[in-house]
Amino acid sequence: MSLLKKMSLAASIALSLGLSAAAYAEKIAIVGGQVHTVSSAGVLEEATVLINNGRIQQVVEGDSVPSGYREIDARGKVVTPGFIGAYTSLGLEEVSGSAGTVDARTEEHPISTLGAAFDVQFAINNDSSLIPITRIEGFTSAGTALSSTGQLFQGQGAVISLAGKFDSILKAKAYMQLDVSNGGADDNGGSRAAMWVAIHTAFEEAKFAQSYTMNPSADWHGLTTMADAKALIPVLNGQVPLFVKADRAADISQMLKLKLRFADLRLVLVHGVEAWRMASELAAANVPVILNPEYNLPGSFDQLGATLENAARLHKAGVKVVVGMDTHNIRLATQHAGNAVANGLPHSAGIASLTINAAEIFGLEEQIGSLEPGKDADVVIWSGDPLEVAQTAEQVFIQGKEIDMSSRQTKLRDRYLKRNKALPVGYTRP
Amino acid sequence: MFKPTMKISVALAVSVALLSGCSDSKEEAKSSIVAGIDTNPFPSTYQAIESKPVVITNVTILDGIGGKIEDGEILLEDGKIADFGSSVSSPSGAIEIDGQGKWLTPGIIDNHSHLGVYPSPSTRSHSDGNEMTGPVTAEVWAEHSIWPQDPGFQRALAGGVTSMQILPGSANLFGGRSVVVKNMPNRTIQDMKFPGAPYGIKMACGENPKRVYGQRGGPMTRMANVAGYRAAWIEAQDYKEKWDKYAADLEAGGSPDQPSRDLNLETLAGVLSGDINVHMHCYRADEMAVMMDVMKEFNYQIGTFHHAVEAYKIGDKLAENNVCSAMWADWWGFKMEAYDGIKENVAMVHQAKACAIVHSDSDLGIQRLNQEAAKAWADGKRAGIDISQAEAWQWLSANPAKSLGIFDKTGSIEEGKNADVVLWSTDPFSTYAQAEKVFIDGAIVYDRTQPNTWSVSDFELGQVAEGDAK
């Protein structure tokens, strides 16, 4: 009997005994790599990561392994926590333009006047080819949300595991999205003068709705629908963070002033091309920033301050920086972070921008984002520095399981590398 | 290898002579009248910046055509690469630069840019790249849309880009003429035009023309796209025949009536004559194969398929037909025809002995094409395709220069070529490498260590963050 068969047999026994699959997961030691713990333990030049029951058991210095662990050699390699794709629409779209399934954009529906009620947790397609394509590059989880609603809010995002299982949601209703940049103003009265009044009104209504019995027979004449108001209550209370997309320094300033009206809001700035100009204010208000550090062009009049040093300047001022805004190529967030490092961000902050900082924004810092005991064993063995464009993820573990390092793209590659020229191409089955 | 066999017309013979010569703009203007028509009505007014000789020592040199020299030296003089190797003599008064730990390469040439036609800021009034009023608009020229104050030019310079091709967009079957420029933004587009570079034409396969014209009279399908190219070539053949006859009669001393001019057909006839290079946006392997048959049917040459996401599927056919592929390292999936993109595309095309080019099509991507090549090189290597860094640099300089018809002037480190080179802070296949000094025609046009010397566009003067680190 092959090992695999033995394992699956054992797994089915474990399941039939009522144990969860995770409880069965084997004990693995990732041995002797340069380990970036992304915790107070820092970077250990030679260390071993012990995995048990799908969780990190311990990170120990050196390369000696207690008995009972399957050893995976990582000497000469780099080991990090699984990276988190912070700001994506993974699982919501297969082909963005002119084709395929796109659940990342909504149209108007009577359930919502302001877009707050929309919830992507029901829309995730775990079979999307983007999931394996992304995870073999070292990304083990992601924030995923609508890219547009044409309304004031862009709905509620979720955090998903990229294990590809049907129950991939790590956290539903993980964040609410609001766009106060030019795009938001265009969709909401054509001017910030209209948009901001609408935002204030929406939150005032949510405040009122807290102590109001919301049911279909109730008398409700708000700007928001009942569903929107209900979705905004936990945002108002700071249970759900509010992701605010803004670039212009003045818009960022307005965003911060929102806290004067609604003190419990937990703000996260998204995009933030001119965020460095408000760095000390953002630091004082403890507002993290999700950005692409490569945006250095004045793409609009709201981005005149664009610079490659955005991430470095924010970090220096004490702002937590998260890198990772894309969907099909969220895997390139490593390169983006590398370019932030090339322009002044410390390397350790570059790694944190892809891991623990994102986990903290999502309120999942007890579960993912670092190599610390008790956390999910989302671990990546890299050929070298993950921020170097010429290096790659060699093996990825999600919740303690080695994932298959193939994707539709690697299969296409292998088919055409090994094509049997005597036969039509469909008969080459890599 | 496919070669056009059509008899070269008089017009072609003369215009090729002037386009490939290193003539200055005055000579060009003088000799550009062919059969009574000025073939160069918007001549280049580019002026190289005067410079002292430069000697760089102790530097790792990638010559861009497969050679690597450790601890090398190079002399740039009179705008040209005067000498390079293990040692060069330093003329008196030369600027001497210690290249310890640094790398020197030919300047990057992006053969697919929309800087200036889709500039920053991307307001609607700046959107000048796609003439979406009809599927065949070969009469429009990108140079008449380019805004030289696009700050994207300066950003690209900081990424080591010394020349680029600026193309119309891909909405149309025939989108119009492209132009090759030196990355030296100045007051006018003529100030940037690469002297002696041939024109190109932008053509497009697939989804974009279908999407734009599907509800507006067509083409609505790929089959109508192909019918559209063929109908246009038939017209162009007739037009060319008329003008060839006119030129021949004129040369024989006759006084024939001049046929009427048609700017659209004039450009298409220029392709049939072989003096305008074809740059065709084409993602899918099957469509590229159809286009190579259309090319044979009408006896012209496709120079380069752009965005050739599926080139890896037909590397052999591309090599056989002598067509270059300009590719991204890893873009994919943003539309159906980009769904089969793989990271090994560039390396697999190279392995098939076809001409591979790394291009940007992006005002951000153009700033770090070295990293795009590095990814493609590393991904190829992991798939068992062993290409040296020295060979891989062809994707960034020599091959795009060939695709643009300027390889006799730039695109490699060879004696006598334009001194368009980049001094990198370290191995340029690293994320952390910075273009430290960029030279165009021997002059230092960007020095990362001297922020007060950086070029700043009119648009950014007096705005927030003018002259800031970019």
Q: Are B420 and B106 in contact (CB under 8 A)?
A: yes
Residues of chain A with Cβ-Cβ distance to B211 below 8 Å are 98
**B465 closest CB neighbour out of A294, A300, A304:** A304
Q: Is B134 helix (H, G, I), strand (E, B) or coil?
A: coil
Task: Sort out which chain B residues have CB atoms less than 8 A from A409's CB and list them.
Answer: 332, 341-343
| Three-state DSSP class for residue B399 | helix
Residue B3 lies in a domain: no
Euclidean distance between the first and the last CA atom of chain A, given in angstroms as a whole number: 25
Look at residue B198 and tell me if it is in a domain. yes
Residues 6+ apart with CB under 8 A from A394: A77, A381, A382, A383, A405
Question: Which of A385, A389, A425 is the best residue to mutate to test the B interface, defined by the most B CB atoms within 10 Å of its own CB?
Answer: A389
Residue A221 C-alpha, separation from nearest chain B C-alpha, in angstroms: 38
Please check whether residues A111 and A187 belong to one and the same domain.
yes
Q: For chain B, what is the domain count?
A: 1
Which amino acid does the sequence have at B249? D
Average pLDDT over residues B293-313: 98
Distance CA B295, CA B274 (A): 12
pLDDT at A102: 87
Using only C-alpha atoms, what is the Rg of chain B? 22
Give the dihedral sign, CA A375/A381/A386/A392: negative
> CB-hemisphere CA count at 13 Å for B207?
12
**Cβ separation A98–B335 shorter than 8 A:** yes
Paired sense of beta strands B108-113 and B161-166, if any? parallel
Asked if residues B299 and B5 have their Cβ atoms less than 8 Å apart, the reply is yes
Question: Considering the domain boundaries, does residue B75 fall inside one?
Answer: no
User: Please, where are the H alpha helices in A237-375?
Assistant: 249-261, 279-284, 310-316, 333-342, 347-352, 356-361
C-beta neighbour count of B437 within 10 angstroms: 23
DSSP letter (8 states) at residue B164: E
Compute mean pLDDT per 10 residues along chain A, 430 residues long, and list them: 43 43 72 98 98 97 97 98 98 84 90 97 96 98 96 98 94 98 95 98 97 89 94 98 98 98 98 98 98 97 97 98 98 98 98 98 98 98 98 98 97 98 96
CATH number, domain of B289, equals: 3.20.20.140
Same domain, A343 and A393: no
Residue B172 falls inside a structural domain? yes
SS3 call for B71: strand
Number of separate helices (H) and strands (E) present in chain A: 13, 16
Contact B207, B174 (CB under 8 A): no
Q: In this structure, what is the dihedral angle of CA atoms B404, B408, B413, B419, given to the nearest 10 degrees?
A: -90
A354 and A395 both lie in a single domain = no
For A326, the 3-state DSSP assignment is coil
Q: Is the pLDDT of residue B19 over 90?
A: no
- Please list every residue in chain A whose beta carbon sits closer than 8 Å to the beta carbon of residue B152: 297
Picking from A347, A368, A389, the residue at the C-terminal end of a domain is A368
* B119 → chain A, closest CA residue: A299
Q: Contacts of residue A298 in chain B, CB cutoff 8 Å?
A: 120-121, 151, 459-460, 463
C-alpha distance from residue A415 to each of A412, A425, A429 (Å): 5, 8, 6
Going from the C-alpha of A359 to that of each of A373, B94, B382, B437, B456, the distances in angstroms are 16, 55, 31, 40, 40
Contact criterion met (CB < 8 Å) for A342 and B431: yes
For residue B378, the distance in angstroms to the closest alpha carbon of chain A comes to 5
SS3 at position B201: strand
Mean pLDDT of B222-239: 98
CA distance B156 to B164: 10
Which pair of structure tokens corresponds to residue A93? 């779209």
- Which residue from B269, B377, B401, B229 is spatially nearest to B324, judged by alpha carbons? B401
Q: In this structure, are A298 and A261 located in the same domain?
A: yes
Residues whose CB is less than 8 angstroms from the CB of residue A356 and which lie 6 or more positions away in sequence, other chains included: A38, A39, A81, A365, A369, A370
The pair phi, psi for residue A265, each rounded to 5°, is -55, 140
| Cα A160 to chain centroid, rounded | 8
Tell me the Ramachandran region of residue B332: left when phi exceeds 0, alpha when psi lies from -120 to 50, beta otherwise.
Answer: beta
The complex's ipTM works out to 0.94
Measured CA to CA in angstroms, residue A300 lies from B2, B360, B455 at distances of: 46, 21, 20
And the tokens for B141? 């020229």
Q: Residue A278: which of A298, A251, A245 has the closest Cα? A: A251
Which DSSP symbol is given to A149? -
Q: Write out chain B residues lying below 8 Å of A342, CB-based.
A: 431-434
Cβ-based contacts of B429 with chain A (< 8 Å)? 389-390
Report whether pLDDT(B413) > 70: yes
Residue in A with minimal Cα distance to B339: A95
Q: Once rounded to an integer, what is the mean pLDDT over residues B290-311? A: 98
Contacts of B122 in chain A (CB under 8 A): 299-300
Q: In a 3-state reduction of DSSP, which class is residue A255?
A: helix
The Cα B234–Cα A428 span in angstroms is 40
Residue ranges of alpha helices (H) inside B98-221 are: 152-158, 207-213
Please judge whether B332 and A95 are an interchain contact, meaning their C-beta atoms are less than 8 angstroms apart.
no
Strand A28-36 relative to strand A70-73: parallel, antiparallel, unpaired?
parallel
Backbone angles phi, psi at B225, to 5 degrees: -55, -50
- Contact criterion met (CB below 8 Å) for B244 and B254: no
CB-CB neighbors (< 8 A) of B382 in chain A:
392
Q: Are residues A325 and A379 in the same domain?
A: no
The pair of structure tokens assigned to A278 is 């408000």
User: Given an 8 Å threshold on Cβ–Cβ distance, is A335 in contact with B371?
Assistant: yes
Cβ-count burial A106-140 (b if 16+ within 10 Å, e if not):
beeeeebbbbbbbbbbebbbbebbbbbbbbbbbbb
Tell me what pLDDT residue A99 has: 67
pLDDT at A121: 97
CA A48 to chain centre: 26
Please state, in angstroms and rounded to a whole number, the distance separating the CA atoms of residues A30 and A250. 48
For residue A308, give how far its alpha carbon lies from the nearest alpha carbon of chain B (Å): 5
Whether residue B371 has pLDDT greater than 70: yes
Is B252 a domain residue? yes
pLDDT digits (tens, 9 = 90+) for B82-119: 999 999 999 999 999 999 999 999 999 999 999 999 99
Q: b or e along A194-210 (b: 16 or more beta carbons within 10 Å of the residue's beta carbon)?
A: ebbebbeebbbbbbebe
Whether A254 and A390 share a structural domain: no
CB atoms within 10 A of CB A4: 8
Domain extent, residue B280, equals 108-409
Residue-averaged pLDDT of chain B: 94
Q: Which of B19, B342, B414 has the alpha carbon at shortest distance from B195?
A: B19
Cα(B197)–Cα(A279) distance, integer angstroms: 47
Structure-block tokens of residue A83: 């990276």
State the first-to-last Cα distance of chain B, in angstroms, to the nearest integer.
45
Domain co-membership, A238 together with A91: yes
Give tens-digit pLDDT for B206-222. 999 999 999 999 999 99
Answer whether B401's CB lies under 8 Å from B420's CB: no
The number of folded domains in chain A is 2
Check if the beta carbon of residue B419 is closer than 8 Å to that of residue B80: yes
Position B5 pLDDT exceeds 70: no
Residue A352, token pair as written in the block: 């944190």
**pLDDT for position B136:** 98
- Residue B322's pLDDT band, with cuts at 50, 70 and 90, is very high
Instruction: Say how far apart CA A295 and CA A14 lie, in whole Å.
Output: 50
Shared domain for A229 and A157, answered yes or no, is yes
Helix (H) or strand (E) holding A59: strand A55-61
Identify from A102, A133, A297 which residue to disrupt to test chain B contact, counting B C-beta atoms within 10 A and taking the largest count.
A297
Contact flag B344-A417 (C-beta cutoff 8 Å) = yes
Same domain, A197 and A317: yes
Partner residue opposite B313 with nearest CB, options A305, A335, A416:
A416
Query: How far are the Cα atoms of A97, B154, B262, B306, B322 from residue B203, in angstroms, in the given order?
Result: 21, 28, 18, 10, 18
Residue of chain B minimizing CA distance to A182: B123
Would residue B5 count as lying in a domain?
no
Residues B283 and A125: their CA atoms lie apart, in Å, by 26
DSSP three-state, residue A334: helix
pLDDT score for B337: 97
Q: What is the pLDDT of residues B29-80, one digit of tens each?
A: 457 888 889 999 999 999 999 999 999 999 999 999 999 999 999 999 999 9
The C-alpha atoms of residue A177 and residue B253 are separated, in whole angstroms, by 76
Mutate to test the interface with A, among B123, B362, B432, B466 (most CBs of A within 10 A): B432
Last residue of a domain, one of A337, A368, A399: A368
CATH number at residue A392: 2.30.40.10
A304, B114, B123, B166, B278 from B179: Cα distances, Å: 28, 11, 23, 5, 12
Using CA coordinates, name the residue in chain B closest to A415. Answer: B313
The pLDDT of B159-164, averaged and rounded, is: 98
Domain that holds residue A22: 1-82+370-430
**Average pLDDT value for residue range B182-202:** 98
Q: Is residue B260 assigned to a domain?
A: yes
For residue A116, give the nearest of A232, A270, A196, A210 by alpha carbon.
Answer: A232
A397 and A358 in one domain?
Answer: no
Q: What is the predicted pLDDT for the residue at A24?
A: 52
Which chain A residue has the Cα nearest residue B343? A409
Nearest CB among A299, A387, A410 relative to B121 is that of A299
Residues A307 and A225 in one domain: yes
Rounded distance between C-alpha atoms, residue A355 and residue A322, angstroms: 8
Given A344, A368, A392, which residue is the final one in a domain? A368
Residue A1 is predicted with a pLDDT of 40
Return the pLDDT at A97. Answer: 80
Does the residue B388 lie in any domain? yes
Check A297 against B120: CB less than 8 A apart: yes
Q: Looking at the DSSP assignment, which residues form a beta bridge with residue B75?
A: B55, B83
Query: Are A164 and A112 found together in one domain?
Result: yes
| Residues in CB range of A184: below 8 A, 6 or more apart | A152, A178, A195, A245
Q: How far apart are CA A393 and CA A326, in angstroms?
A: 19
The verdict on a CB contact (< 8 Å) between A417 and B383 is yes
CA dihedral A298, A299, A301, A302 (to 10 degrees): -90
Q: Give the pLDDT score at A11.
A: 44
Q: Is the pLDDT of residue B313 over 60?
A: yes
What is the rounded CA–CA span in Å between residue B370 and residue B423?
A: 12
User: Scanning every residue of chain A, which has its alpha carbon at the shortest distance from the alpha carbon of B335?
Assistant: A97
Choose among B195, B134, B219: nearest CA to B168.
B134
Q: What share of chain B is helix, strand, coil (3-state, %, to 5)?
A: 30, 20, 45
